[in-house]
């Protein structure tokens, strides 16, 4: 229940991103997403005092945050230019790439299912991206896929530091660094949001952070391999919102691609039931 509620909240957050993108540049949406999330964490920071944020793994937080910021930029760009369900799904491909990134970065041998799952997933991505297509949509889909790669690297970055760093501290440093880094482009891209745009931006921060808290509760209540598959209901919620608000309906090729990608990601999640630990508890992308 917590995982499905989190998926619904994150889909609403993605819907708010798409609503805001009609009048607000992606660079501003990323900044306000981080800023509002950081503001929501202030009570935790004040209550915990110095002990809450003190760390000896600052470099690890920098690496994790760098990959997370790149992923967030790509994700929001994809949402702005693609049907909502496809954009959400492309970022949710992180389980396909994380085993290989972990192999290169941490020396962790991927499970036997990783390679066939990745090949099936890439075939599904190809059906969504449609490499022969020209124009903005195809490039946005590729950027969305790269967002999934970066998200996978961010997850491995979390694994490197999670032996000493609790999830709340990892989220805090990610939001802090994201706010500082994403503030820089505002000098060139700032556009004063309209009143409706402010509501969309507030929704991005509130629902994305709420979804994160719900998902953290879900991962604290059951093994990651059990919880993981339920997160893909976010694609169903996003597709429903995209159809209701913007009349988005994926074609048959995209539907087939979505089925392949979800199936391949589940293939990477299910065999690792005994190996997944608290490091897989979700943090901000």
DSSP code for 56: S
82 within 8 A of 18, measured Cβ to Cβ: no
Supply the pLDDT for residue 279: 43
84 has pLDDT over 80:
yes
93 within 8 A of 265, measured Cβ to Cβ: yes
274 has pLDDT over 70:
no
171 within 8 A of 114, measured Cβ to Cβ: no
Closest CA to 82 of 148, 34, 14: 14
Q: What is the rounded distance in angstroms from the CA atom of residue 219 to the CA atom of residue 226?
A: 9
Supply the pLDDT for residue 77: 92
Judged by average pLDDT, the poorest of 3-12, 28-37, 106-115, 239-248 is 106-115
Mean pLDDT of all residues in 252-280 = 70
Supply the pLDDT for residue 142: 86
Mean pLDDT of all residues in 156-167 = 84
Supply the pLDDT for residue 282: 47
Q: What is the rounded distance in angstroms from the CA atom of residue 19 to the CA atom of residue 201?
A: 9
- Per residue in 202-220, pLDDT (tens digit) is 999 889 888 877 877 777 6
143 within 8 A of 78, measured Cβ to Cβ: yes
Q: What is the DSSP string of 193-218?
A: PPHHHHHHHHHHHHHHHHHHHHHHHH
Mean pLDDT of all residues in 56-76 = 93
Residue with tokens 């503001």, as numbered in its chain: 39
Q: What is the rounded distance in angstroms from the CA atom of residue 105 to the CA atom of residue 179?
A: 26
273 has pLDDT over 50:
no
Domain locations along the chain: 2-280
Alpha carbon distance, N-terminus to C-terminus of the chain: 21
Measured in whole angstroms, how far is the alpha carbon of residue 227 from the centre of its chain? 16
Supply the pLDDT for residue 245: 93
Mean pLDDT of all residues in 229-235 = 83
Judged by average pLDDT, the poorest of 16-30, 90-104, 122-136, 199-213 is 122-136
Mean pLDDT of all residues in 39-43 = 86
CB 213: neighbour CB atoms within 10 A? 16
17 has pLDDT over 50:
yes
176 has pLDDT over 70:
yes
Q: How many CA atoms lie within 13 A of 79 on its CB side?
A: 36
Helices (H), 162-194: 167-183, 186-189
Q: What share of the chain in percent tops pLDDT 70?
A: 89
Supply the pLDDT for residue 277: 43
Question: Is residue 119 helix, strand or coil?
Answer: helix
């Amino acid at each position: 229940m917590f995982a499905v509620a989190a998926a619904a909240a994150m889909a609403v957050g993605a819907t708010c991103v798409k609503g805001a993108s009609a009048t607000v540049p992606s660079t501003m949406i990323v900044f306000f997403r981080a800023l509002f999330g950081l503001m929501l964490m202030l009570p935790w920071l004040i209550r915990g005092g110095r002990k809450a944020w003190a760390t000896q793994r600052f470099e690890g937080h920098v690496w994790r945050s760098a990959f997370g910021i790149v992923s967030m930029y790509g994700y929001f760009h994809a949402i702005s230019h693609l049907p909502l369900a496809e954009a959400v799904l492309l970022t949710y491909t992180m389980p396909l790439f994380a085993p290989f990134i972990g192999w290169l970065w941490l020396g962790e041998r991927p499970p036997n299912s990783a390679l066939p799952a990745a090949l099936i997933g890439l075939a599904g991505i190809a059906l969504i991206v449609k490499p022969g297509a020209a124009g903005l949509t195809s490039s946005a889909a590729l950027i969305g896929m790269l967002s999934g790669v970066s998200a996978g690297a961010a997850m491995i970055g979390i694994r490197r530091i999670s032996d000493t760093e609790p999830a709340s501290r990892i989220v805090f440093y990610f939001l802090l660094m994201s706010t500082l880094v994403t503030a820089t482009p505002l000098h060139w891209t700032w556009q004063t949001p309209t009143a409706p745009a402010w509501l969309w931006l507030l929704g991005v921060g509130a629902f994305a952070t709420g979804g994160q808290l719900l998902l953290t509760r879900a991962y604290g209540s059951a093994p990651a391999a059990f919880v993981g598959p339920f997160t893909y209901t976010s694609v169903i919620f996003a597709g429903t919102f995209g159809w209701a608000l913007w009349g988005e309906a994926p074609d048959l090729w995209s539907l087939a691609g979505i089925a392949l990608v979800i199936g391949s990601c589940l293939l990477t999640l299910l065999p690792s039931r005994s190996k997944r630990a608290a490091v897989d508890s979700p943090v901000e992308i």
